[in-house]
Chains A and B, each alone.
Chain A
C-alpha cells in the first residue's frame, strides 16, 4: 500500500526551528527566502512567501506565546499548487480552537487586524490542529498573480 502523500518528505524541503520573537522571525524569513526551494522563485513570489510567513510567525510570537519565550518550527516544500507550509508551536491554542476569519477590520483607519486577511488572501488549504499541547498550522501559499 502506498503511504499517504506527504510533500515534506521530498528533497527540496527547507525546515528550521526559531525563537518566536520579532528579530528571530526576521532572521528566519531571510534564511527561508534565500535557501532552496524559495530562492528559485521569482522576486514577486518570494515577496508573497515572505509576507505570509511573516504574518503567521509574528502571530505565533504575539498571540500563541504572548511575548513569552518559545520556539516555532517551520517547514516549506514546493508542490505543483504552490509552496506547502507547516508551522508548529507549543504556545496557547487558537481562541475557540478556530482560525480567525480574516475579515478586513472595520472603521476609518484601522491600525491592526490585517494579518489574517493577508494570510487568507494569499493561501489555500488552511488547516489548524491542536494536538498534545501544540499547534499545527498547514497551508499552501499560492504563487500565481495576487
Chain B
C-alpha cells in the first residue's frame, strides 16, 4: 500500500497511490495510516483521486482511521472518484466526513481554519 505524505504546519495530507482500497488491502491501509497519524497532531486530509474502487472493507478502514484520530482531530477527504463517491453516498458516510473537490481545496480549507 503506497501512501504519499506531505506534512505542513497545520495539516498532514496523504495521497493514496493505489487504484483500490479493498478487502485485500484494508488492514494494511489502516496500519499505514495509523503510523502516519502518529507523526503529528495536525488535522489530516486523505486524497482519494487515484482510488477507482473502494469496497465496504475499505470504507470500514477509513472510518476506523477517523475513529483512531479521536473527536478533536479532523480527518477530511478529497477528490472522490464516481464509484467511491457512490459508496459514501449509499452508506450515508458522506454526512460523517467533510469531502473536498480537490486536495488543494482541502489543504487551503485546513490552513485557513
Contact = CB atoms under 8 A, between A and B. Distances in A.
Interface of A: 22-23, 25-26, 43-44, 47-48, 50-51, 54-55, 58, 61-62, 104, 109-112, 114-115, 117-118, 121-122, 146
B113 interface: no
A51 B60 contact: no
Interface residues of B, number: 24
B91 A117 contact: yes
A109 B96 contact: yes
B90 A111 contact: no
B36 interface: no
- Majority secondary structure, A binding face: helix
Given A44-B82, A47-B83, A146-B86, A114 B56 contact: yes
A117 B90 CA distance: 8
B60 A50 contact: no
